[in-house]
Amino acid sequence: MEPGFALGSRAFAAGCALQAYDTVGSTNAEAMGLAREGRGPVWVVARAQTSGRGRRGRAWSTGRGNLAASFGVTLGVPPSTAATLGFVAGLALEQALRAVAPSLGQPTTRPELKWPNDVVVDGAKLAGILLEADVSTPGRVNVVVGIGVNVASAPEGLPYPAASLRGRGDDATAEQLFVALTDAFAAWFETWDEGRGFAQVRKGWMARAAGLGSEVSVDLGGRVARGVFEKIDDEGRLVLRAPDGTSVAIAAGEVHFGTAATVRE
């Protein structure tokens, strides 16, 4: 095990295992392999990630100094319930970021959770979350929650603003953030309780939601839905109030704030 990364005390007490690497292709792939072997709950973390994945199959690498971590577990719940673990991860990450980064501790600069899987600050993406699931055994689902955080640097050349902790003046390390993240995740995972506590998770998530109550446009991969972001429902879907007054529930899409006619890829 590469020295430096460690679980928080609450994560350790919850029975989580840890696999830490200097460099790995994909923490999600490693965590999924361990979950399939029945070795979850487990955290996989690396100093650098060379073959990570983002949403919609996009390639994603993690440079040194940033955080690439994945949580893997096998659950006896439907895949739709397992998918709500993304909200657990968002809440845990927001809490961990505030714990280690002084610049994010003020009400005006607190991180916000952007549906379905980003953490933003001042409109710029600071972190992303990717869930993957495997239902190879009837009645059981292997779930991996991948988390990437711009700690030391933010990628360049993206079609949206990105930020890093260091760029904001915070000197927190990936190792410090990881400890706080594993403990916060353990607490929210316990609250979630295999989906039985999602109502409380949902309430906490909406209290930190970016764009709640405002006009948004959602790229649905071929068409665009527009309306006022009203809430997330009990399945984790984004609910819009469309211009004609009807409610529209969206299970997946790329959210953009405002009502511009063109939605960027």
Q: Helix axis angle, 85-100 relative to 174-192, nearest 10°?
A: 140
Question: To which residue do tokens 């990630």 refer?
Answer: 49
In terms of domains, do 220 and 194 share one? no
Q: Are strands 59-62 and 42-53 parallel, antiparallel or unpaired?
A: antiparallel
The whole model's pTM is what?
0.90
Domain assignment present for 3: no
pLDDT at 53: 61
Identity at 260, one-letter amino acid code: A
In terms of domains, do 23 and 70 share one? yes
Residue numbers of the chain with a pLDDT score lower than 50:
1-3, 56-57, 59, 259-265
Cα–Cα distance between 7 and 245 in angstroms, integer? 48
Closest CA to 188 of 132, 248, 147: 147
8-state DSSP, 231: E
In terms of domains, do 25 and 100 share one? yes
Strand intervals (E) in the chain: 17-24, 42-53, 59-62, 67-75, 112-114, 118-121, 124-137, 140-149, 215-219, 224-232, 238-241, 247-250, 254-257
Digit-coded pLDDT (tens) for 44-67 = 999 988 876 655 445 455 678 999
CATH number at residue 249: 2.30.30.100
**Total domain count for the chain?**
2
Rg (CA), the chain: 18
pLDDT at 136: 79
pLDDT at 265: 40
Cα angle 154, 101, 168 (rounded to 5 degrees) comes to: 40
Question: To which residue do tokens 């845990």 refer?
Answer: 92
CATH number at residue 79: 3.30.930.10
In terms of domains, do 54 and 169 share one? yes
Count of CB atoms situated within 10 Å of the CB of 46:
26
In terms of domains, do 144 and 199 share one? yes
Domain assignment present for 2: no
Domain that holds residue 228: 215-257
In terms of domains, do 100 and 147 share one? yes
